[in-house]
Copies of this chain bind each other. A is one copy, B any other.
């Protein structure tokens, strides 16, 4: 942990997901809440989506889900969500015709049942 899941609609031409992920990870590391190596993030583009009920090709979204182990304060969680949101907004394409919703949610993961093994690479 943490795990960051990023999704974006495929009408966001020019959204550089890889760079956005890297910036989000840098912000998460700078928060002091996590070990650098533990921050695992991925992005996927969605091509089948629907925003609202109108067929409006100008509607777009970028959404992040940040899964963290439970136990952090609400204030810390708010800060983390805002850090990720800010990182995404930097990279959100600025097409004035597009209606873009950018968001980040925090999901707390049960600590007791989290199972992990880390096989460290040998240089």
Determine the chain B residues whose CB is within 8 A of the CB of A122 once the complex forms: 96-97
The range of chain A's interface size is 35 or more
A105 near B114 with CB under 8 A, answer yes
Mostly, the A contact residues are mixed
Interface residues of A in 88-123 (CB under 8 A from B): 89, 92, 96-110, 112-123
A52 interface residue per 8 A CB criterion: yes
- Give complex CA distance A80, B110 in Å: 13
A85 to chain B, nearest CB (A): 4
A44 to chain B, nearest CB (A): 7
A33 interface residue per 8 A CB criterion: no
A103 near B116 with CB under 8 A, answer yes
